[in-house]
A and B are shown apart, each in its own frame.
Chain A
Amino acid sequence: SAVISQKPSRDICQRGTSLTIQCQVDSQVTMMFWYRQQPGQSLTLIATANQGSEATYESGFVIDKFPISRPNLTFSTLTVSNMSPEDSSIYLCSARPYSTAGTGELFFGEGSRLTVL
């Protein structure tokens, strides 16, 4: 299993600013992902955080807007850049430990709720 800590848990931000969300896993994991969940909606995959290399982004998400780092096997950051009210959402970090590589089971952080004014 894996325990994932995210911070901040919530924040209120001004339009045009940027915020970095941190994700720490208590064990080494194979894959780390970032999802976005807008109110009442499902999870949308933003990108796969690749250790030591550039993240792989899904359609509709770009590196300039959502730069991601993953310097090691247990830590990743997501930055939401030049925020607008449309970026108000819950951002979730998830990870797949080596132990669940065969089942694809994902573990999630508690999420970071961002409100952009």
Chain B
Amino acid sequence: SQKIEQNSEALNIQEGKTATLTCNYTNYSPAYLQWYRQDPGRGPVFLLLIRENEKEKRKERLKVTFDTTLKQSLFHITASQPADSATYLCALPQNTGGFKTIFGAGTRLFVKA
């Protein structure tokens, strides 16, 4: 079955720098990949989706890349702010053509002022 790997260690960066988070998957190549943000005590919130035929997607200060050869997605936050501190989750369809979503364990980001 599909497995998602995200760096379990927290990422600490200085305000203004670019944060880069990694998501690797192990099995089939999904039709799309999603990124969510989760704040403590809250449910996840959808941020971005990138499809298998897209190399890169941008939304404001966020950029996502998708390399189906490496089975990897990178999530970048440019000009990071303390308000960006949260856990970021990578998510994929559970199966090829499936409608269920599975999540990685997430990477905790701390942005210091």
Contact = CB atoms under 8 A, between A and B. Distances in A.
Interface of A: 4, 31, 33, 35, 41-43, 45, 48, 92, 94, 96, 103-111, 113
Q: Give the secondary structure class of A's interface.
A: strand
Interface residues of B, number: 23
Q: Give the secondary structure class of B's interface.
A: strand
Interface in B53-100: 89, 91, 93-94, 99-100
Contacts of B44: 43, 92, 106, 108
B46 A105 contact: yes
Contacts, number: 53
19 contacts: A4-B43, A33-B100, A35-B103, A42-B104, A42-B105, A43-B44, A43-B103, A45-B94, A48-B100, A92-B43, A94-B43, A103-B32, A104-B34, A104-B49, A104-B99, A106-B36, A106-B91, A108-B44, A109-B43
Interface of B: 4, 32, 34, 36, 41-46, 49, 89, 91, 93-94, 99-106
